[in-house]
Amino acid sequence: MKANVWMGTDRVKVVDVPDPSILNARDAIVRVTSTAICGSDLHLYHGFIPAMRKGDILGHEFMGEVVEVGPQVRNLRPGDRVVVPFPIACGHCVSCQRGLYSVCENSNPNAGVAEKVMGHSPAGIYGYSHLLGGYAGGQAEYARVPFADVGPLKVPDDVPDDQAVLLADVFPTGYMGAEMCDIKAGDVVAVWGAGPVGLLAAASARLLGAGRVIVVDRYAYRLRLAREHAGADTVDYSETDVLDALKDLTAGRGPDACIDAVGLEGHHGNAAVYAYDRAKQATKVETERPFALRQAILACRSGGIVSVIGAYGGFVDTFPIGAFMNRSLTMRTGQCHVQRYTRPLLGRIQRGDIDPSFVVSHRMKLKDAPKGYRIFQKKQDECTKVVLKV
Amino acid sequence: MDDDDRVLMSELGGPSRAGGLPRALGWLSLAVGVGLLAVPDRIARLTGLDDAPAARGLVAVAGVRHLAHAGTLIPGRRATGGAWARLAGDAVDLALLARALPDRRGQRRRRVAVTTAVLGGATAVDLLAALHAGRVRRAGRRVIEVHIGVTVNRSPAEAYRFWRDVENLPRFMSHLESVRAEDLRRSHWTVRGPAGRHVEWDAEIVDDRPNRSVAWRSLPGTPVPNAGRVRFVPAPGDRGTEVRVHLRYVPPAGAVGRAVAALFGEEPAQQVRDDLRRFKQVLETGEVVRSEGSPNGLSVRQQVMQRPAQPLPATRR
């Protein structure tokens, strides 16, 4: 089959690889119909996530048709149309039973290595480095889905791929980012990053009753989407001082909750500040560029919540712990526990509460994956989200 | 000392095992030392040395020395050093007797000769004791001891039942090729070695407390003496069971030893931790979890030597 594989920093390639097969009794094989490129795939593309190997199949956002199931999978049949959550979760450990699917205790075969880096191991993720399991990803014609009796959600025919594929990651991730804010009527929620996750976090904050949503980014076309689809106020950090702007918009209080939907490859309006962290990242003194996180902490009102859904991989420095501690802030984080959200969010889509597909800007063929990565990375052609059709 | 230690110590040796012979010699030294100091004249006469002007002094010195031996050997902490010290004392005594023998005649000469013979026998025993204590101490230094726990979302009874059926063990202990139960207590273990070499041994369950713990040890004659106990303790707050393993084994010297060391890797604790992680996977999910990068599931070596994350070629499935 054809698959999009990582070939080194800034290089992906569509190559022929063997077809997947059932390895565990609870596996299913899915013929992929749509698979999206995620912002976090760009972190892998840029080589910022350790433990990638040449030839790794990328992709953790995919959906398709079940073609084969293992002997222990009784809820799915060949022909079922399913969307697959990106965290691989067994459903039977204590974490899974408490709904913390992205920290499943059993799904990372390389847990020993992950433990050395992170203290404890999180769940395995499709196509997301060997630190998180060494699983083949979904940017391919076929994919093996472990624990298929727990993760995949059947999608009714009247929900198109462009909406359903977003249930694999970005919509639940954005939604969880908003949910972690404990939004009460009238709350002001600020979101850093107007990528697909940030846009859907802003839209979800609206769904959950926020009085006002403010989105911070520097790309005019993305800020326009935030205004049009999430009813957000927008701040262009390349032109405006963000902390001043947020104080202004809230009459000095600061947002009640701040969502970091940027993660480890942030940009900063001040060239000197950007250069400081970029240099440290290049020399491996720190692995992240946490501008959004620092700013979110400084901006948040005292006693407020900082919700972190942007992806981080390692360590940061110059972390404003003084502001964080003295002002009684709360931080909530996590890779999204997607399995918890797929069904209710499918319901929201079917009821017409939201159409998340407004974030999809490009549809192209799997064989054009390298081009998709390039324009997504360079933000060319007003690119927000690329969905590859197989 | 808890139950673990009694079961595991007696099997794999340690101070208590080396202590047998040296400690007996310590008590002998105590008796001899007290005798030498209490009735030096009679001792001097018995050994045929009563005519020497320095006899009283030498007997007293020997008495003090024997009390010192008793002081180190009876507690048994420094069995090896104590045994060698006794041997050195024997050598001094034998040298003195050897000098005394040619000057004596008649009954005194016979008594010196008998004393020399008795002391020679004691010296031989001391030599054996010293060599044995040294061997035990070196083996003790090689004993590898591992304590590791994992929390499994199953009841203690379920976890115990799975483990107690020893033929299940190879399902999560990656270095085991097979375990065959001979009867309820005895089993035969086979380990896969590099280059097709197999290491095999017999083991027996020495303590079996249903739903609480199992202790086992290898039978004499194994190239890899080992013993262990696994406990199944209810985890607090409805989190399942804390499975706690205490394992001791002695990697042998030589080629087999190197093979075993390679099997257990640089970090035996990591190996056992991976075994327990697989135990958890099998109990909670039904089998060992596999990815394309780690198609054989968890193992230290495989985690370091990953294959690319793409489907296996048909020949390797």
Using an 8 Å CB-CB cutoff, list residues of chain A that contact chain B. Answer: 3, 5, 17-21, 23-26, 51, 53-57, 72, 90, 92-94, 97, 105-113, 124, 127, 130, 133-137, 144, 146-147
Residue A300: phi and psi, rounded to 5, are -60, 140
- Note whether B310 contacts A23, CB cutoff 8 Å: no
* Residue B315 lies inside a defined structural domain of this protein: no
What pLDDT score does B252 carry? 66
Give domain A173-333's CATH number out of 3.40.50.720, 3.40.50.920, 3.40.190.10, 3.90.1150.10. 3.40.50.720
- Note whether B309 contacts A135, CB cutoff 8 Å: yes
What pLDDT score does B299 carry? 64
- Are B96 and B169 members of one domain? no
Nearest CA distance, A57 vs chain B (angstrom): 6
- Note whether B286 contacts A72, CB cutoff 8 Å: yes
Q: How far apart are CA A191 and CA B273, in angstroms?
A: 41
Per-residue pLDDT tens over the stretch A121-169: 999 999 999 999 999 999 999 999 999 999 999 999 999 999 999 999 9
What pLDDT score does A248 carry? 96
What's the average model confidence in pLDDT over A347-361? 98
* Residue B314 lies inside a defined structural domain of this protein: no
Per-residue pLDDT tens over the stretch B79-100: 788 888 888 888 888 888 888 8
Nearest CA distance, B165 vs chain A (angstrom): 22
**Ranges A161-165, A287-291, B167-171, most confident:** A161-165
What pLDDT score does B266 carry? 54
* Residue B222 lies inside a defined structural domain of this protein: yes
A388 Cβ partners below 8 Å, 6+ apart?
Answer: A4, A34, A35, A36, A37, A139, A363, A364, A365, A366, A368, A369, A372
Measure the N-to-C terminal CA separation of chain A; round to a whole number of Å: 11
- A-interface mutation test, from B292, B298, B299, B306, most A Cβ less than 10 A away: B292
Last residue of a domain, one of B88, B123, B140: B140
Per-residue pLDDT tens over the stretch B120-165: 988 998 888 888 777 767 666 678 889 999 999 999 999 999 999 9
Query: Is residue B30 predicted with pLDDT exceeding 80?
Result: yes
Residue B234, H or E segment = strand B226-234
What's the average model confidence in pLDDT over A349-358? 98
Q: Which residue of A has its CA nearest to B240?
A: A94
Residue with tokens 């992806």: A311
**How much is the ipTM here?**
0.90
- Note whether B306 contacts A134, CB cutoff 8 Å: yes
What pLDDT score does B2 carry? 45
Which pLDDT band holds residue A348 (cuts at 50, 70, 90)? very high
* Residue B125 lies inside a defined structural domain of this protein: yes
Plot region of B254 (φ>0 → left; ψ -120 to 50 → alpha; else → beta) = left
Query: Is residue A38 predicted with pLDDT exceeding 90?
Result: yes
- Note whether B311 contacts A93, CB cutoff 8 Å: no
- Are B302 and B180 members of one domain? yes
- B-interface mutation test, from A110, A129, A150, most B Cβ less than 10 A away: A110
Higher-pLDDT residue of A136, A113: A136
Contact indicator for A66, A29 with CB cutoff of 8 Å: yes
Query: Is residue A217 predicted with pLDDT exceeding 90?
Result: yes
B312 Cβ partners below 8 Å, 6+ apart?
Answer: A18, A21, A23, B292, B295
- Are B48 and B133 members of one domain? yes
Q: Which residue of B has its CA nearest to A147?
A: B285
Q: Which residue of A has its CA nearest to B288?
A: A24
Q: How far apart are CA B133 and CA A84, in angstroms?
A: 64
- Are B232 and B255 members of one domain? yes
The tally of domains found in chain B comes to 2
What pLDDT score does B76 carry? 75
Higher-pLDDT residue of A274, B237: B237
What pLDDT score does B257 carry? 64
Higher-pLDDT residue of B119, A84: A84
- Are B134 and B154 members of one domain? no
Q: Which residue of B has its CA nearest to A106?
A: B281
What's the average model confidence in pLDDT over A53-78? 97
* Residue B316 lies inside a defined structural domain of this protein: no
The token pair at B5 is 């230690």
- Note whether B284 contacts A92, CB cutoff 8 Å: yes
- Are B299 and B189 members of one domain? yes
Query: Is residue A214 predicted with pLDDT exceeding 80?
Result: yes
**Size of chain B in residues:** 317
What pLDDT score does B302 carry? 65
Q: Which residue of B has its CA nearest to A54?
A: B308
**Ranges B21-25, B63-67, B186-190, most confident:** B186-190
What is the span of the domain harbouring residue B250?
143-307
What pLDDT score does A260 carry? 97
Per-residue pLDDT tens over the stretch B280-313: 999 999 999 999 998 877 666 666 678 899 998 8
- Note whether A18 contacts B312, CB cutoff 8 Å: yes
Residues of A in contact with B278 (CB under 8 A): none
Q: Which fold has domain A2-169+336-389?
A: Quinone Oxidoreductase; Chain A, domain 1 (3.90.180)
Q: Which residue of B has its CA nearest to A145?
A: B291
The mean-pLDDT minimum among A40-54, A111-125, A345-359 falls in: A40-54
Higher-pLDDT residue of A203, B92: A203
- Note whether B314 contacts A130, CB cutoff 8 Å: no
Residue A111, H or E segment = helix A111-118
The token pair at A322 is 């003084």
- Are B298 and B199 members of one domain? yes
- Note whether A106 contacts B270, CB cutoff 8 Å: no
Which pLDDT band holds residue B15 (cuts at 50, 70, 90)? very low
E strands, chain B, in order = 144-152, 176-181, 186-192, 198-209, 213-218, 226-234, 241-249
CATH of the domain at B236: 3.30.530.20
Q: How many CB atoms lie within 10 A of CB B212?
A: 13
Residues of A in contact with B155 (CB under 8 A): none
- Note whether B291 contacts A124, CB cutoff 8 Å: yes
- Are B130 and B240 members of one domain? no
What pLDDT score does A70 carry? 97
What pLDDT score does B5 carry? 47
Query: Is residue B18 predicted with pLDDT exceeding 70?
Result: no
What's the average model confidence in pLDDT over A38-46? 92
Which pLDDT band holds residue B256 (cuts at 50, 70, 90)? low
A-B C-beta contacts closer than 8 Å: 130
Q: Is B13 on the interface with A (CB under 8 A)?
A: no
What would you report as the CA-atom Rg of chain A, rounded to the nearest whole angstrom? 20
Stated pTM of the model: 0.81
- Note whether B289 contacts A146, CB cutoff 8 Å: yes
What pLDDT score does B265 carry? 58
Mean pLDDT (chain A, rounded): 95
Residue B123: phi and psi, rounded to 5, are -60, -40
Beta-bridge partner residues of A345: none
A326 exposed, middle or buried (CB, 10 Å; 0-12, 13-18, 19+)? exposed
- Note whether A72 contacts B281, CB cutoff 8 Å: no
Residues of A in contact with B159 (CB under 8 A): none
* Residue B113 lies inside a defined structural domain of this protein: yes
* Residue B165 lies inside a defined structural domain of this protein: yes
- Note whether A18 contacts B310, CB cutoff 8 Å: yes
* Residue B173 lies inside a defined structural domain of this protein: yes
What pLDDT score does B194 carry? 63
Question: Quick one: what percent of chain B has pLDDT higher than 90?
Answer: 30
- Are B148 and B294 members of one domain? yes
Query: Is residue A262 predicted with pLDDT exceeding 60?
Result: yes
Last residue of a domain, one of B92, B121, B140: B140
Nearest CA distance, B246 vs chain A (angstrom): 20
| Amino acid in the structure at residue B116 | T
Query: Is residue B13 predicted with pLDDT exceeding 60?
Result: no
- Are B111 and B157 members of one domain? no
A146-163 core/surface letters (b: 16 or more CB in 10 A; e: else): bbbbbbbbebeeeeebbb
Nearest CA distance, A17 vs chain B (angstrom): 7
List chain A domain ranges. 2-169+336-389, 173-333
- Note whether B306 contacts A135, CB cutoff 8 Å: no
Under DSSP, is residue A352 helix (H, G, I), strand (E, B) or coil? coil
Q: How far apart are CA A20 and CA A29, in angstroms?
A: 7
